[in-house]
Chain A
Amino acid sequence: GAVVSQHPSRVICKSGTSVKIECRSLDFQATTMFWYRQFPKQSLMLMATSNEGSKATYEQGVEKDKFLINHASLTLSTLTVTSAHPEDSSFYICSARDSRQSTWNTEAFFGQGTRLTVV
Chain B
Amino acid sequence: GQQLNQSPQSMFIQEGEDVSMNCTSSSIFNTWLWYKQDPGEGPVLLIALYKAGELTSNGRLTAQFGITRKDSFLNISASIPSDVGIYFCAGRYGGSQGNLIFGKGTKLSVKP
Contacts and interface: CB of A to CB of B under 8 A. Distances in A.
A110 B44 contact: yes
- Chain A interface size band reads 20 to 34
Contacts of A44: 43, 88, 102
Nearest to B44: A110
Nearest to A91: B40
A113 B41 contact: yes
Contact of B100 (A4, A42, A46, A91): A46
Interface of B: 31, 33, 35, 40-45, 48, 50, 88, 96-97, 99-100, 102-105
A81 interface: no
Main secondary structure of the interface of A (DSSP, over half): strand
A104 B96 contact: yes
Given A42-B104, A43-B102, A44-B102, A112 B42 contact: yes
B105 A43 contact: yes
A6 B42 contact: yes
Contact of B43 (A32, A49, A110, A115): A110
A93 B96 contact: no
B69 to A, nearest CB: 15
Contacts of A13: none
Given A43-B103, A49-B99, A106-B96, A93 B43 contact: yes
Contacts of A46: 99-100
6 contacts: A4-B42, A43-B105, A95-B42, A109-B45, A110-B45, A113-B41
